């Protein structure tokens, strides 16, 4: 049960990371350290997809589920629906295109003059 709960927490954390990659330019415009963390995360995301790597959070979650003995996705309500977003089954081209769009919009948000 302990490892299962930790695996669920990793899924929720993974979802939070994805949301940060999508919306991180908003706080990044205000705080420089957030901007650099966000831009680094975007570069890492592109590298993951370009080289067909798997996110380390995915490895961590699978390892924790294996330790729990379930090996499957028997999780709580929030983790179950978070996993559907985190592990959405999109064709690689669409996933990569969405990432590039997020990068372009984020860069525009950083470069655009503030009002």
Structural tokens at position 111:
């470069």
Per-residue pLDDT reduced to its tens digit, 30-65: 999 999 999 999 999 999 889 988 889 988 988 998
Region for residue 71 given its phi and psi (left: phi exceeds 0; alpha: psi -120 to 50; beta: otherwise): left
Per-residue pLDDT reduced to its tens digit, 51-100: 988 889 988 988 998 898 876 555 554 566 666 776 777 788 888 898 89
Q: Note the pTM of the prediction, 2 decimals.
A: 0.80
Report the alpha-carbon distance of residue 68 to residue 11 in Å, rounded: 15
In the chain, domain spans: 2-111
């Amino acid at each position: 049960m302990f490892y299962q709960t930790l695996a669920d927490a990793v899924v929720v954390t993974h979802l939070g990371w994805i949301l940060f990659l999508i919306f991180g330019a908003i706080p990044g415009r205000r705080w420089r350290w957030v901007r650099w963390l966000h831009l680094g995360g975007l570069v890492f995301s592109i590298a993951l997809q370009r080289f067909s790597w798997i996110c380390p959070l995915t490895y961590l979650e699978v390892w924790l589920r294996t330790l729990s003995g379930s090996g499957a996705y028997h999780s709580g309500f929030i983790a179950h629906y978070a996993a559907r977003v985190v592990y959405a089954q999109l064709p690689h081209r669409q996933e990569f295109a969405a990432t590039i769009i997020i990068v372009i919009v984020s860069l525009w948000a950083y470069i655009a003059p503030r009002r």
